[in-house]
């Protein structure tokens, strides 16, 4: 994996999710991260940006606030780190309970699975809130485990 | 570049009250409401048996999953069914992560899914 440190700033519009996914995909593919791991990180970033638009910025008009996405790959630590900054209201994922899927389905809840998915696909999820300033969400994915699993599958097929 | 709003939904009636929905593109927080409107329009018109061809879904997030789950619940409550055909890798991976892979009936072809409804 090659080292990359890139940044993207988008406004609070769900139309921008496609741009965010392409940014993550192009950066990580160029860095040499496997397709399967890239798909997981894309999902985590998409869910996190969607939460910021829907919750942290829910009181703000579309396109009036920004979301700052920093994406770094660390070959020595074999990990990808994504940090998202927003200036919306406090939204702490640690306060979101693990969803009861039966209830979720029965009540036909439209939202509430994003944080659960982020925790499923990423290895570390940390949150920081600076009152009156910003929310910072940091997510880390260690590549070794997933890459090894993929390698094992390839070996089994060969 | 992947375009915003990249979702195409085609509907095809297959006799009786069965409709095939062919879904191409992206099901995210921006596009999934389009699919939701199409599905609930079908329910409002009395269609409760829906075959969703998901082979062309390039990407799906929890927003898209929520629409498929509510479609399945609504169909079931109205005595119908909502089944999948050839879910793409993205759909399969998401439902695996949610632990809901076994919740949906999935068929390898549209004709086999229609046969599920017609009993042929």
Among A10, A90, A130, smallest CA distance to B30 is for: A10
Residue B15 pLDDT greater than 80, yes or no: no
Contacts B28 to A, Cβ<8 Å: 14, 17-18, 46, 50
For an interface test with B, the pick among A18, A22, A62, A150 (most B C-beta atoms closer than 10 Å) comes out as A18
DSSP annotation string for A69-134: EEEEEETTTTEEEEEEEE-SS---GGGSPPP-HHHHHHTT-SS--HHHHHHHH-SEEEEEEETTTE
The answer on pLDDT for B1 being more than 70 is no
Interface test with B, best of A14, A22, A53, A104 (most B CBs within 10 A): A14
* ipTM rounded to 2 decimals: 0.91
Residue A107, φ and ψ in degrees, nearest 5: -85, 0
| CA-closest candidate to residue A18, choices A38, A46, A40 | A46
| Predicted pLDDT of residue B120 | 58
Query: What Rg, from alpha-carbon coordinates, does chain B have?
Result: 13
In this prediction, residue B3 carries a pLDDT of 53
Domains and CATH numbers, chain B: 7-113 (3.30.750.24)
Ranges of each domain in chain A? 4-157
- Give A78-130 pLDDT, tens digit per residue: 999 999 999 998 877 788 888 888 888 888 777 789 999 999 999 999 999 88
CA-to-CA distance for A118 and A114, rounded, in angstroms? 6
Which chain A residue's Cα is nearest to B94? A117
pLDDT at A15: 96
Distance from C-alpha of A150 to C-alpha of A143, rounded to nearest angstrom: 11
Q: Which CATH code is given to the segment(s) A4-157?
A: 3.30.565.10
What residues in A contact B67, CB-CB < 8 Å? 110
- For residues B21, B22, B28, B31, the Cα torsion angle rounded to the nearest 10 degrees is -70
Closest approach of chain B CAs to the CA of A36, in angstroms? 10
Average pLDDT over residues A39-60: 95
| Partners of residue A104 in chain B, C-beta under 8 Å | 69
The per-residue pLDDT for range B77-101, each reduced to its tens digit, is: 999 999 999 999 999 999 999 998 8
Q: What is the DSSP letter of A41?
A: H
Q: Please determine, for residue A51, whether its predicted confidence score (pLDDT) is greater than 70.
A: yes
- Mean pLDDT of the region B22-46: 96
Count of C-beta atoms within a 10 Å radius of residue B78: 14
Q: Model confidence over B105-114: pLDDT tens digits?
A: 999 999 999 9
Residues of chain A that touch chain B, judged by Cβ-Cβ distance less than 8 Å: 14-19, 21-22, 39, 42-43, 46-47, 50, 53-54, 101, 104-106, 108-111, 113-114, 116-117, 120-121
CA distance B120 to chain A (A): 30
- Residues from chain A that touch B93, judged by Cβ atoms under 8 A, are 39
- Check whether A20 has a pLDDT greater than 70: yes
Q: How far apart are CA A112 and CA B63, in angstroms?
A: 9
- Which site among A108, A112, A116, A150 would you substitute to test the B interface, given the most B Cβ atoms closer than 10 Å to its Cβ? A108
Whether residue B38 has pLDDT greater than 50: yes
Interval B29-56 mean pLDDT: 96
**pLDDT category, B45, cuts 50, 70, 90?**
very high
B61 versus B101: the higher-pLDDT residue is B61
Q: What is the mean pLDDT of residues A24-47?
A: 97
Q: Say whether pLDDT at A150 is over 60.
A: no
Q: What is the pLDDT of residue A7?
A: 98
Q: How far is B17 from chain A (nearest CA, A)?
A: 23
């Amino acid at each position: 994996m090659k080292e990359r440190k890139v940044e993207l700033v988008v406004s609070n519009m769900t139309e921008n999710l496609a741009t965010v996914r392409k940014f993550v995909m192009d950066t990580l593919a160029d860095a040499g991260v496997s397709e399967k791991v890239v798909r997981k990180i894309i999902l985590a970033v998409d869910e996190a940006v969607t939460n910021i638009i829907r919750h942290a910025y829910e009181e703000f008009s579309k396109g009036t606030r920004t979301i700052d996405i920093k994406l770094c790959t660390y070959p020595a630590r074999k990990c990808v780190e994504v940090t998202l900054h927003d200036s919306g209201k406090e939204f702490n994922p640690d306060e979101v309970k693990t969803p009861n899927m039966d209830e979720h389905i029965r009540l036909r809840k439209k939202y509430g699975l994003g944080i659960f998915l982020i925790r499923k696909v990423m290895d570390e999820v940390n949150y920081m809130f600076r009152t009156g300033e910003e929310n910072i969400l940091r997510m880390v994915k260690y590549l070794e485990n997933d890459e090894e699993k993929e390698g094992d599958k390839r070996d089994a097929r060969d | 570049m992947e375009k915003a709003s990249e979702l195409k939904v085609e509907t095809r009636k297959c006799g009786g009250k069965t409709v095939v929905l062919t879904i191409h593109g992206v099901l995210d927080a921006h596009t999934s409401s389009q699919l939701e409107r199409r599905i609930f329009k079908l329910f409002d018109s009395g269609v409760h048996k829906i075959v969703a061809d998901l082979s062309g879904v390039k990407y799906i997030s929890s927003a898209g999953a929520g629409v498929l789950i509510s479609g399945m619940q609504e169909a079931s409550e109205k005595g119908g069914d909502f089944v999948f055909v050839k879910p793409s890798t993205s759909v399969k991976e998401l439902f695996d992560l949610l632990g809901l892979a076994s919740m949906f009936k999935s068929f390898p072809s549209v004709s086999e899914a229609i046969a599920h409804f017609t009993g042929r």
